[in-house]
Amino acid sequence: MFGLETDVFILLFISLFAACAFEFVNGFHDTANAVATVIYTNSLKPTVAVVWSGICNFTGVLLGGIGVAMGIVNLLPVELLVDQNVYHSVAMVLALLLSAIIWNLGTWYFGIPSSSSHTLIGSILGVGLAFSTLPDNTTGAAVNWDKAIETGEALLLSPLLGFSLAIVLMFVLRRVVAEDVKAQLFKEPKKNSEPPTWIRGVLIATCSLVSFFHGSNDGQKGVGLIMLILIGVVPYHFAVKSDLDPRLMQTNIVGIEQTIAVLNPNQLSPANRDRLTQTRAELSDLKQLINGPLVDNKIPNEKRLDVRKDLLLINSNMRKITADEGANISASQMAVLNKSLSEESGLRRFTDYAPFWVILMIALSLGLGTMIGWRRIVVTVGEKIGKQHLTYAQGASAELVAATMIGVASWLKLPVSTTHVLSSGIAGSMVASKGVKNLQASTIRNIALAWVLTLPVSILLSFTLYIFFRWLL
């Protein structure tokens, strides 16, 4: 398959299996975040809830796009993503996948709501940092820090917003809802008794939304992992989108060259002057390629990894150059550049993609994982965050806030933690009811501890595993 030698094919299979295993674990690790409220309010039976959540997760992956997936891929430096040595690429994906799975399983076993997003991103950072220490890394490249900072901000702010918005929403409900409705909405569910039909409908709807948006955000992380594997191990097939005519780049190249033409190199910083020189050389390489003979209007196999490297560096360099104070780029010219670089009609459409079979494989892994293993963390979310039983209003508020925030994050192409957004929403709803004293300190401490430890532990694990696999392979 893919013209690989037997040993490389086996490593590819193991890597793909590990990526699906990560997404499967992600499914049953994060299931509780969507189904806890409908289970603890007796809106759905546990079995029905997790199956329905699995279907919504599956649909979310299929319809969620690939913006977050490409954000995950682009955390790593270009040099690591275009390494010609297949075994180095296998070492990379095995290190980040195994470290993520180990931490996810550990926190799930102890019933601690932990973030799969934090775990995966920490693992990617660990691999990048380990790569920077290797003697064959002559560029010193480690991590795409601009993207890492943007991702870190999203992961940091999302639980704070979830906590705050849940309090605000609870406050608004108490003020605007009619007294007879409020009496039903803010009471604790009776044991083994379904809520009123309209409340049950609201809770099922919010559960569905959280599940769908969880799929659209967390599922993309698995898609990104698969693409990392495919680009590293079989670059001839997946480094660039092979069904696009490379001559479509011509218009994009002209747009970029128009921007370069208005720049005064003497007004740029020394680093950006070097980037400008490098970008001109990369554009020249692309023009030479597309103006030369092309068999079946496709980029030659032996050139695909080099083309990917040129495209990624052009995009990265032009973003940094135009952000320079001395660039003085007009709004209209910036619009031309953005279009020339975009994933819709620009150069990035050749690199930012995922085959449908990859998306379907991850959708199945996440959907099936969602249907098992829910009980441990459901108990934590439903019983151990607050001291009181979850009311209908608290469950609906927390899930509505979580669904909205995850949906917005997916639209902005940013990864967020479903676990922390919903857990913080539950905590916010408990505080809105009876103050901070309504929280169970031990559970909040465990969640916070997991939140603090996840990044350094996953970084250390993947750093160590990457060095080991590079030595082994």
Give residue 189's pLDDT: 75
CA angle 350, 356, 362 (to 5 degrees): 115
Query: Is the pLDDT score of 400 beyond 60?
Result: yes
DSSP assigned state of 453: H
Read off the pLDDT of each residue in 319-329 and give the average, rounded to a whole number: 86
pTM confidence score: 0.83
Read off the pLDDT of each residue in 57-78 and give the average, rounded to a whole number: 83
**Candidate from 43-47, 81-85, 236-240, 466-470 with smallest mean pLDDT:** 81-85
**Candidate from 141-150, 203-212, 405-414 with smallest mean pLDDT:** 141-150
Read off the pLDDT of each residue in 276-283 and give the average, rounded to a whole number: 92
Helices (H), 234-327: 235-238, 249-261, 270-291, 304-322
Identify the band that residue 139 occupies on the pLDDT scale cut at 50, 70 and 90.
low
Read off the pLDDT of each residue in 380-398 and give the average, rounded to a whole number: 70
Query: Is the pLDDT score of 357 beyond 90?
Result: yes
Most confident stretch, 110-124, 172-186, 254-268: 254-268
The share of the chain scoring above pLDDT 70, in percent, equals: 90
DSSP assigned state of 21: H
Burial environment of residue 363 by CB neighbours within 10 A (0 to 12, 13 to 18, 19 or more): buried
157 close to 408: Cβ distance less than 8 angstroms? no
